[in-house]
Amino acid sequence: MVAGLLGLAIVTWILTVERMGGMDAGPGTDLGALGWFLGVWVTMMAAMMFPSAAPMVVVVGRVSGERDGGRLGPLASTAPFVAGYLAAWTAYGLAVYGIYRAVAAADPAALAWDRQGPLVAGAAVAAAGAYELTPLKRVCLRHCRSPLSFVLHRWRKGAGGAFAMGLEHGAWCLGCCVGLMLVLVVLGVMSITWMAVVAGIIFAEKVLPGGQRLTVAVAVGLIAVGVWIASAPDSVPGLTQPGGMEMPTDPRMDMPTAPQMDMPPAPQTDMPTDPQMDMPPRMPGWPRARSRRLRLSRHLVEADGRRGHGDAGRGPRRGCARRGPGRVLGVVERRHQTGARDADEQGGS
């Protein structure tokens, strides 16, 4: 029975973390629609309160088995009790929701976080600490730590009786934990961090040996936290600042805008360009073409000189009598210019 209740508490913790992850907006968190809030609230209460309520549920199951002669199983006797217990905490959640909607409708400007909000939140936390020292807290805590005495003196038969017992025990538990639940509501009802802190304090006070003596330390701690929130809320660990996550958005996509980066201009390089192609001119192979022209010129000059010496005894041939050294150099020069022009045309193409 205990294993089943603790397993259910673990499952509800997992569901709570999955549903409420990233929803903590700090003090004044919007509670949403009533149906959605009740579903989340009941899941939260099961996660936070089942571990500390486990001793009472075990006693109810055992006493029910003894008095009913074993006709009802443990689940049949304890399920109505757990349902009544959750009903009491659901009623508290409805009261919290109604107060929240009334305050939101009034829209008091003094409660804004940039005005008097930290003072109000700090005062509420300090008041929760002071409640830990009241006689009502001591009486309710004594009842929660004595499950057998409650079952023996307040026993009721049947499923309806078990539901009524669970409702009554839930009222006693509410009186024991109302101050701590106020801390959760004020600092962020959707905060997983504060849920874990409050649930740990409740379990320690109601279940651990000597838990009743922890109330003084808890009271002092809560009063100190209240003063801290009122004086320097930005430095309180685990406290989400309302409106602290706002980011500039793009009105067209409702998404955070990407930061604009100023890039330095690309360096300009001055390079000679071809006016027709707007690219640097290419002259492939022109050094080799020039070398060939020079070798051809020297070859022609040497060949013409050999011809002149070999034909000296025969007399001039036709067309060769008027070809002197100047004439030969002129022919070579014209051939040289023609070859250079052809090479330039090939390189440009």
pLDDT of residue 146: 87
Q: How high is the pLDDT of residue 319? A: 44
- Asked if residues 93 and 41 have their Cβ atoms less than 8 Å apart, the reply is yes
**Which has the closest alpha carbon to 119: 237, 242, 228?**
228
* Nearest by Cα to 81 from 27, 28, 159: 159
Nearest residue to 145 (alpha-carbon basis) of 94, 93, 205 = 205
**pLDDT, position 129:** 94
User: So what's the pLDDT on residue 341?
Assistant: 61
Containing H/E element for 34? helix 34-67
pLDDT of residue 137: 94
Q: How far is CA 298 from the centre of its chain?
A: 84
pLDDT of residue 291: 54
Q: Is the backbone of residue 283 left (phi > 0), alpha (psi -120 to 50) or beta?
A: beta
User: Cα separation of 179 and 129, whole Å?
Assistant: 7
What pLDDT does 267 receive?
55
The predicted model scores a pTM of 0.64
pLDDT of residue 8: 82
Sign of the dihedral defined by the CA atoms of residues 307, 308, 314, 319, in that order: positive
Q: Which of 171, 161, 332 is nearest to 323 (CA)?
A: 332
- At position 167, the amino acid (one-letter code) is L
Two structure tokens written together for 330: 């002129």
Crossing angle between the packed helical segments 135-144 and 192-206, to the nearest 10 degrees: 80
Q: Strand (E) positions, the chain?
A: 249-250, 255-256
User: What's the confidence (pLDDT) of residue 206?
Assistant: 92
pLDDT along the chain (349 residues), means of 10: 76 83 71 88 91 89 72 74 93 92 80 82 93 94 88 83 91 93 86 89 92 92 93 83 50 42 54 50 49 57 54 46 48 56 56
